[in-house]
Amino acid sequence: MVTFARLIPAAFLLGAVALGGLRAAEPDNHSPDIPEAVRPMMADPDLAQSDFIENCAGCHGLRGTTVPAHLPEIKDRVGWFMCTPESRAYLLRLPNVAHSRITDNAQLADLMNYVVFVLGGKSVPVGTKPFTGSEVAHERQFPLTSVSLKAERLRLANVAIAKCRAPTSLRLQYPGSPQ
Ligand code: HEC
């Protein structure tokens, strides 16, 4: 028989679980703090963050994750693409980046450094140098097409897995994704 006395702790427990759930979901509603250690990677970290919010977060989410939507998760993963010069270039050759309406290359480099060093978190290989305006100016001349994009991403993910010990789930859109 379930007594009233036994139900009280159960109700408390349920309340705590519900609260815990709320707490866990809450940070996704706002941008992450920019860690002091990565601020020097950007000339203007706050502008880089607002540029991301304005130009990219509508699709990618404020924290770089929109799971289970069918697009690659940036949060804690995008940094692996800094593994080789080719895979760094991939990030700048993405159509939404290369064709960005931000025409100032140094400003776009800052935005991409925000993406890599803030949203990418611990996925960035040690010793990675930030993007520069001239690197952006060069690579954005060679935007990937939607045809080449998928194959190129897979190829470069495999290089990052082999060379930089990226997790094999980098081949997927997000860990556990069906594709
Ligand atoms: C209209 C929606 C949309 C917007 C806006 C957008 N993206 Fe994307 N992004 C995508 C999709 C979809 C993909 C998957 C590849 C593709 O189809 O382009 C992607 C891929 C990426 C990737 C590759 C991640 C990986 O793991 O391969 C990065 C990085 C990225 N976007 C960054 C950005 C940045 C930075 C901006 C803003 C300048 C931006 N995106 C704006 C939809 C968008």
Amino acid 13: pLDDT = 42
Are 125 and 138 within 8 A, CB to CB?
A: no
Query: What integer best gives the mean pLDDT of the chain?
Result: 88
Share of the chain above pLDDT 70, in %: 84
3-state secondary structure of 93: helix
**Rounded to whole angstroms, how far apart are CA atoms 4 and 7?**
5
Cβ neighbours of 44 (radius 10 Å): 14
pLDDT of residue 102: 98
Instruction: Compute, in angstroms, the gap from residue 97 CA to the centroid of ligand 1.
Output: 8
pTM here? 0.87
pLDDT: which is higher, 89 or 23: 89
Closest Cα to atom 24 of ligand 1: 72
Q: What is the percent of the chain where pLDDT is above 90?
A: 80
Fold of the CATH domain 34-171: Cytochrome Bc1 Complex; Chain D, domain 2 (1.10.760)
Q: What are the residues whose beta carbons fall under 8 Å from the beta carbon of 156, sequence distance 6 or more?
A: 81, 83, 84, 86, 87, 90
For 4-52, the pLDDT digits (tens) are 455 444 444 444 444 444 445 555 569 999 999 999 999 999 999 999 9
Tokens of 8: 């009280």
Note the pLDDT of residue 62.
96
Residue 166 has pLDDT above 50, yes or no: yes
Lowest average pLDDT, out of 1-15, 65-79, 138-152, 163-177, goes to 1-15
Domain ranges of the chain: 1-30, 34-171
The contacts of residue 35 (CB under 8 Å, 6+ apart) are 118
What are the tokens at 153? Answer: 């991403």
Q: Which residue from 94, 100, 124, 171 has its CB within 8 A of the most atoms of ligand 1, so it is best to mutate?
A: 94
Hey, which of 96, 99, 119, 168 would you mutate to test ligand 1's pocket, going by the most ligand atoms within 8 Å of its Cβ? Answer: 96
Q: Pick from 78, 86, 156, 84: which is nearest to 117 by CA?
A: 78
User: Of 106, 156, 99, 96, which is closest to residue 135 (Cα–Cα)?
Assistant: 106
Rg of the chain over all Cα atoms, to the nearest angstrom: 20
